[in-house]
Amino acid sequence: MSATSGGDNAGIRFLPAGDTALVVEFGDRIDRALSERVLRLGERIRESALAGVTETVATFRSLLVHYDPLVTGAAAVKEHIADLLDDRAGGPRPRRLFRVPACYDQACAPDLDEVATRAGMSRAEVIEAHCGQDYHVYSIGFLPGYAYMGDVVPALALPRRTDPRVRVPAGSVAIAAGMTGIYPIESPGGWHLIGATAIRLFDPDWPQPSLFRPGDAVRFVPISREDYDRARAAMATEPLQPEASP
């Protein structure tokens, strides 16, 4: 399947993903403007209720469109999607904002000193930089509920650790490769651990099992170790609620 041609949609590629899915690829880089195009198309497909389309999955630079091959086919899905690709239509997308309480105490941040040294910053400066902006949720992956959020300030855009950990505690706040994230469950991991949060990120019993979804905004709010310990008890049963976007 070839790329579309003309206007703002030049360079978009339609790629087969087996016989039940189609990838709409918008580019070869990671940035928020490209992500917004991916998310906007996903919303339009859901609103259009295209016959046979069962699910869409947003990635950094493409949209995976699943379809039922007994109802429709790749050619028909591509034709319908091509009609929805007008990037000029519609205003800014509404988004949800989450303020995530995070503890940067030494006990919760085993890599913070090393990160500060490599970045040429103090611990306080790293914390201030990490908490000083709203992060864009690009994609959910790696683990259920794991949100890839960007973009960290350039000084903190460190590569992954050369010695990944076998066990990273659930709730660990981490950075690597220009991204920040929160480990939803205990797992192996190679990102730098600079803090921890008590919020729950995934629950299969929730109507939407993942707390975050692509397009959300997340801001980290520093809290003390005492507040973190209290939050672990308070947030163990209730999910974090989004706030109105600024």
- Helical H segments across the chain, by residue range: 32-48, 74-82, 112-119, 123-130, 225-234
pLDDT by residue (tens digit) across 175-197?
Answer: 999 999 999 999 999 999 999 99
How many other β-carbons are positioned within 10 Å of the β-carbon of residue 189?
23
How many other β-carbons are positioned within 10 Å of the β-carbon of residue 16?
12
Quote the CA–CA distance of 73 and 77 in Å, as a whole number. 6
Question: Which neighbouring-strand residues pair with 137?
Answer: 149
pLDDT by residue (tens digit) across 54-105?
Answer: 999 999 999 999 999 999 999 999 999 999 987 655 666 788 999 999 999 9
Phi, psi values for residue 163, rounded to 5°: -125, 80
pLDDT by residue (tens digit) across 157-171?
Answer: 999 999 999 999 999
Tell me the three state secondary structure of residue 54.
strand
Q: Which residues of 223-246 are buried (b: 16+ CB within 10 A; e: fewer)?
A: beeeebeebeeebeeeebebeeee
pLDDT for position 7: 47
CB under 8 Å, gap of 24 or more: what pairs does 162-170 form? 163/190, 164/188, 164/189, 164/190, 165/189, 165/190, 168/193, 169/196
**What's the pTM value of the predicted model, to 2 decimals?**
0.89
**For residue 31, is the peptide bond before it cis, meaning its omega torsion is within 30 degrees of 0?**
no
pLDDT for position 193: 98
Predicted confidence band of residue 8 (pLDDT cuts 50, 70, 90): low
Residue whose token pair is 């690597």: 176
pLDDT for position 245: 59
Quote the CA–CA distance of 184 and 5 in Å, as a whole number. 41
pLDDT of residue 3 exceeding 80, the answer is no
